[in-house]
């Protein structure tokens, strides 16, 4: 069974603060993918990152960084120097290898206050 937990339902930060969104997952599969998606108020889900289960290297893309730790089954997402445009709902998701269905967490609503 697959399960993704995003314990933070809502987070508010002041612009330029750093913020970390937590994601914990459960799976019995030895190989799988993890994803983060952003959903702004317009509704479209925007793909941010995909991670293979065997690749535990942290990744940085501009102000975004991701910390994947297999030992704790976590895939956390940090936004550095947050901006108002970062305000959105962020979903963490899991997919087993060779499958097509994404298991989404419940999402974290991030509000960045100017």
Within positions 61 to 90, which residues make up the interface with other proteins, using CB under 8 A? none
Q: How far is the CB of 84 from other proteins (least distance, A)?
A: 21
Q: Stretches 12-20, 58-66, 71-79, 105-113: which one binds other proteins (CB under 8 A)? A: 105-113
Verify binding: residue 35, other proteins, rule CB under 8 A. yes
Cβ(35)–Cβ(93) below 8 Å: yes
Is residue 41 part of the contact set for other proteins (CB under 8 A)?
no
**CA 12 to CA 113: how far, in whole Å?**
7
Helix H or strand E segment including 80: none
Pairwise CA distance, residues 60 & 28, whole Å: 28
How many residues belong to the chain? 114
Kindly state whether residue 91 participates in binding other proteins, applying the rule CB under 8 A.
Answer: yes
Q: Per rule CB under 8 A, is residue 43 in the interface with other proteins?
A: yes
Indicate whether 21 belongs to the interface with other proteins (CB under 8 A).
Answer: no
Q: Which H or E run includes 43? A: none
Tokens 């987070």 -> residue:
11
d(CA 106, CA 101): 16
47 in contact with other proteins (CB under 8 A): yes
In the complex, the residues that contact other proteins under the rule CB under 8 A are 31, 33, 35, 37, 42-47, 50, 52, 91, 95, 97-102, 104-107
């Amino acid at each position: 069974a697959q399960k993704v937990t995003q314990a933070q339902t809502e987070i508010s930060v002041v612009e330029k603060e750093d913020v970390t969104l937590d994601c914990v997952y459960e799976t019995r599969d030895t190989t799988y993918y993890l994803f983060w998606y952003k959903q702004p108020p317009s509704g479209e889900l925007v793909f941010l990152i995909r991670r293979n289960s065997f690749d535990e290297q942290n990744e940085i893309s501009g102000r975004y960084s991701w910390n994947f730790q297999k030992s704790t089954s976590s895939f956390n997402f940090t936004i550095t120097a947050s901006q108002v445009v970062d305000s959105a709902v962020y979903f963490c998701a899991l997919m087993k290898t060779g499958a097509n269905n994404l298991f989404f967490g419940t999402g974290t609503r991030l509000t960045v206050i100017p």
